[in-house]
């Protein structure tokens, strides 16, 4: 397997694309011969040829140790902007005990507040670390928020990864992936109104049916994914996916999405209806040089705070002031600026959007709270809203037209 992996990694992008297409055609032939009922609909075409990318706002501030009575203003003001300007959703995460994300320990509480001040935008957890919670409480809490929002919630479930978070539920850390998928099924059943037998005192099976009943009859579910097996598992259970380009390339992303949609098809789910939401750091401006100067310091500090949370888990991580660490941060900044973000002019970002469309992404979750002040962020959102309107007003493109951009 290692030899095969090295051979695949040595291929050029063009060779990888050819291999992907051949494997995809081979898989479809196998599915059609072994399971005719799983055959793709006659009108199935890639997402890129059928609809435009949606835009949402995503939050994951690194300023969790701040002590300012206005530290949630950026979240509130930008969420209101998203609600007024046709954005699809607002995502808030769950993190504990860390400056990185520490403003957001409970997405259900924040979502309840957003439900009361918005009217249109969907309100999503991005992500909820399910193994830290009772699935009963998740079903109850989010059904309440669904009522407050008149049916606008969605949840992306995650395993979490930082072992310090698991002081909340230490017994679930080792098998957190399986616990997550097990409890997703329980939350779905409770949400739909089923009575579920769950262990009570002394292990006695206890029938549970949660209240209040939600507005949405089916819970919109995402799974937060990074590794290939989780992409496949999400497709198998018919969930949407939330992902990023932090540890993957655009070409790898394209392959993950193809395998995800194939897994949906093989398990009786419409491959076209699965939503792929991609988180990208976002700032738009009129001049590339000024954009670089404006985002460089806050983004490097943001990345540095991200690495700081790894120190208790990794021996030998270089000190922040070292030449080695500064070089690493500069490299990461350049990668984000050039390849893995919506940091740039509207024309540059539109080109990125076309590439993501070609890779079969459905939605860009724009991370906007990485250190810029409120006024600067709102100026960027004006340009982002115009870019969204422009992208949605363009004539539909064929698959071949989109792929030429890629």
Q: How many other β-carbons are positioned within 10 Å of the β-carbon of residue 252?
A: 14
| Domain tally, the chain | 1
Question: What are the two backbone dihedrals, phi and then psi, of residue 223, each rounded to the nearest 5 degrees?
Answer: -120, 130
Residue 280: half-sphere exposure toward Cβ, Cα within 13 Å: 29
Q: How many residues does the chain have?
A: 406
Q: Look at residue 86 and tell me if it is in a domain.
A: yes
pTM for this entry: 0.83
Tokens 């419409």 locate to 270
**CATH classification of the domain holding 364:** 3.20.20.30
Which pLDDT score is estimated for 219? Answer: 98
Any idea what the Cα angle at residue 266 is, between residues 262 and 272, rounded to 5°? 50
pLDDT score, position 178: 98
For the record, the structure tokens of 215 come out as 């507005």
**Residue 225: strand, helix, or coil:** coil
**Residue linked to tokens 């988180």:** 279
Please give the Cα distance from 387 to 90 (Å, whole number): 18
**Residue 262: domain span:** 46-292+343-405
**Tens-place pLDDT, residues 357-392:** 999 999 999 999 999 999 999 999 999 999 999 988
Which pLDDT does position 1 carry in this prediction? Answer: 37
For residues 183 and 370, give the distance between their C-alpha atoms in angstroms, rounded to a whole number.
32
**370 found inside a domain:** yes
Region at 158 (left for phi over 0; alpha for psi -120 to 50; beta for the rest): beta
- The DSSP element (H or E) to which 110 belongs, if any, is helix 107-117
Of 282, 373, 261, nearest in space to 56 by CA: 282
Grouping H, G, I as helix, E, B as strand and the rest as coil, residue 43 is coil
At residue 46, the pLDDT reads 44
Question: Integer distance in angstroms from the first to the last C-alpha of the chain?
Answer: 29
Residue at 191 is within a domain: yes
Closest C-alpha among 89, 81, 88, 84 to residue 107 = 89
Nearest 5°: phi and psi at 121? Answer: -65, 140
| Distance between CA atoms of residues 182 and 176, nearest Å | 10
The pLDDT value given to residue 387: 96
Instruction: Tell me how far apart the alpha carbons of residues 300 and 370 are, in angstroms, rounded to a whole number.
Output: 10
Task: Enumerate residue ranges in the chain where pLDDT < 50.
Answer: 1-9, 11, 14, 16-50, 397-406
Q: Is residue 239 part of a domain?
A: yes
- Asked whether 306 and 317 are in contact (CB, 8 A), the reply is no
Cα distance between residue 126 and residue 103, in whole Å: 14
Within-domain flag for 25 = no
């Amino acid at each position: 397997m290692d030899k095969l992996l090295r051979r695949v990694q040595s291929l050029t992008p063009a060779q990888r694309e050819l291999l992907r297409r051949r494997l995809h055609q081979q898989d479809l032939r196998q599915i059609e011969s072994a399971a005719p009922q799983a055959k793709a609909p006659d009108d199935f075409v890639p997402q890129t040829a059928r609809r435009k990318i949606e835009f949402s706002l995503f939050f994951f501030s690194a300023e969790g140790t701040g002590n300012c009575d206005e530290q949630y203003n950026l979240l509130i003001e930008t969420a209101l902007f998203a609600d007024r300007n046709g954005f699809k959703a607002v995502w808030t995460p769950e993190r504990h005990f860390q400056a990185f994300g520490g403003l957001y320990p409970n997405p259900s509480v924040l979502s309840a507040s957003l439900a009361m001040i918005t009217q249109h935008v969907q309100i999503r957890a991005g992500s909820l670390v399910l193994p830290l919670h009772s699935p009963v409480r998740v079903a109850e809490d989010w059904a309440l928020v669904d009522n407050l929002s008149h049916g606008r919630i969605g949840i992306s479930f995650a395993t979490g990864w930082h072992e310090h978070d698991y002081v909340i539920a230490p017994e679930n850390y080792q098998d957190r992936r399986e616990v997550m998928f097990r409890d997703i099924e329980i939350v779905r059943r409770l949400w739909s109104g089923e009575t579920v037998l769950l262990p009570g005192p002394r292990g006695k099976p206890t029938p549970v049916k949660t209240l209040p009943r939600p507005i949405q009859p089916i819970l919109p579910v995402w799974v937060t994914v990074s590794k290939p097996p989780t992409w496949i598992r999400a497709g198998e259970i018919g969930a949407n996916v939330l992902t990023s380009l932090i540890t993957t390339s655009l070409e790898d992303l394209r392959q993950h999405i193809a395998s995800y949609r194939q897994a949906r098809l093989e398990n009786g789910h419409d491959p076209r209806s699965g939503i792929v939401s991609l988180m990208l750091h976002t700032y738009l401006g009129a001049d590339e040089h000024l954009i670089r100067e404006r985002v460089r310091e806050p983004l490097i500090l943001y990345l540095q705070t991200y690495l700081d949370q790894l120190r208790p888990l990794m021996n030998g991580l270089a000190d922040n002031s070292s030449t080695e660490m500064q070089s690493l941060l500069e490299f990461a900044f350049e990668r984000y600026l050039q390849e893995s973000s919506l940091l740039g002019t509207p024309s540059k970002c539109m080109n990125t959007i076309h590439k993501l469309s070609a890779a079969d992404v459905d939605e860009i979750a724009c991370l906007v709270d990485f250190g810029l002040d409120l006024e600067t962020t709102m100026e960027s959102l004006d340009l982002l809203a115009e870019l969204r309107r422009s992208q949605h007003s363009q004539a539909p493109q064929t698959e071949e037209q989109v792929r030429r951009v890629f």
